[in-house]
Amino acid sequence: MPSTPAAPRRGTFVHALLAWAAALGAPACEADKGCDSGVACDTGEVGAGGIGGEDCDGRPGLEAAEGLPLVTALLEAGAYELGSPAGEAGRRPDELPRAVSLSRSIEVGLTELSQAQWAALMDDAPSNQPGCPRCPVEGVTWHEAARFANRLSEMDGLEVCYSCTADAPGGLCASRPDPGACVGWRLPTEAEWEAAARAGSGASWSGADESDPVAWTEENTGRVCAVGGRAPNDLALHDMSGNVWEWTNDGYGPLDALPEEDPWVAAEDGAAIRGGSWFNDAADARSASRRSARLDEATPFVGLRLVRTTDGGLIGG
């Protein structure tokens, strides 16, 4: 790891957000409204349905996102089929079908981490769409996501899964080898993420053969929404498709180069992100869709979901 922490690259892609908001006709933020300077938003009251509002289509989100402890679902250890079939619309070359074996069961957060949950442990308010406690936290780097996971682990009396140069903004973090061996909170590996998103289904999106019932994307919202406003998948997980991209524990690379059992590769310069976002089209919200983002990059489109290995989850352990 670099010895000197690099400043987070905040504001990347904000020019695109400005262009989108201008085209939509949203009023610019004002200094006394608590909005980030220069980022267009709806300056009405929370719940008005604008950017940063509490709801989308009148849906207030899940109470489970109001605070801590995290509410989770169990993804059992076992064999999973991942990737996309050759004929799937929107398919990219890096989504090759593959079989993986997960040797440990994990608890998976029912929702993307919310702004309220972030505020319960952290000293900053990074989200570009403030005033919506049940909306997913975004505008966080991979390193900041790791620091939150460590703080939550400490709160719950668990071992921490990341080594960090400083517990402060700008501190750099790294995952321990074999992340599943850590029973504290962490980001999911790509294989764990997709297995949880699919929940045993071959559907293109998490829980459905069409995106609209399960995903907030540019086609049906064009703004960040409170978590849980769309239908869950068969594990009761919400927003695995759409709303915000989610950081994973993995570096981005060829999946067929990884072992079949517990595949994982260390995130060094960049990490894989999964799930698509409100700013992307439905094809990007497919369960197999994957992209890469710099570890020090913070955007309005990327948040996180946490997992932890369950006690006794190791097969044969």
pLDDT of residue 169: 73
- The residue assigned the tokens 């919310």 is 114
- The answer to whether position 91 is within a domain reads no
Q: What span, in angstroms and rounded, lies between the C-alpha atoms of 279 and 59?
A: 19
Q: What tokens does 13 get?
A: 């892609």
d(CA 207, CA 298): 28
> Order of strands across the sheet with 104-109?
72-75, 104-109, 307-314, 185-186
Q: What is the pLDDT of residue 9?
A: 52
Q: Do the Cβ atoms of 218 and 224 come closer than 8 Å?
A: no
Q: Is the dihedral of CA 299, 305, 308, 309 positive or negative?
A: negative
Q: Is residue 2 part of a domain?
A: no
pLDDT of residue 55: 53
Distance CA 163, CA 175 (A): 7
Digit-coded pLDDT (tens) for 8-45: 455 434 333 433 333 333 322 222 222 222 222 222 22
Q: What is the pLDDT of residue 209?
A: 97
Measure CA of the first residue to CA of the last residue in the chain; give whole Å.
32
Q: Is 4 within a domain? A: no
What is the pLDDT, as a whole number, of residue 130? 86
Q: 15: domain range?
A: 9-29+36-85+97-314
Q: What is the mean pLDDT of each successive set of 10 residues along the chain, which is 317 residues long?
A: 41 38 30 26 29 64 94 97 95 95 97 98 92 95 97 97 86 94 97 98 97 96 94 97 98 92 94 98 98 96 97 44
**Is-contact 216 232, C-beta < 8 A?**
no
Helices (runs of H) and strands (runs of E) counted in the chain: 4, 14
How many domains are there within the chain?
A: 1
Q: Is residue 216 part of a domain?
A: yes
Give me the CATH number covering residue 41: 3.90.1580.10
Any domain includes 19: yes
Say how far apart CA 197 and CA 179 lie, in whole Å.
Answer: 19
Strand partners, 101: 79, 261
CB of 192 closer than 8 Å to CB of 102 = yes
- Give a yes or no: residue 74 inside a domain: yes
**Nearest-CA neighbor of 309 among 177, 161, 191?**
161
Does residue 149 lie in a domain region? Answer: yes
pLDDT of residue 187: 98
What was the pLDDT predicted at 89?
A: 94
In a domain, 90, yes or no: no
- Cα gap 172→170, rounded to integer Å: 6
> Do the Cβ atoms of 211 and 241 come closer than 8 Å?
yes
CA geometry: angle 312, 149, 217, nearest 5 deg: 105
Distances in whole angstroms, Cα of residue 25 to Cα of each of 21, 28, 257: 6, 9, 46
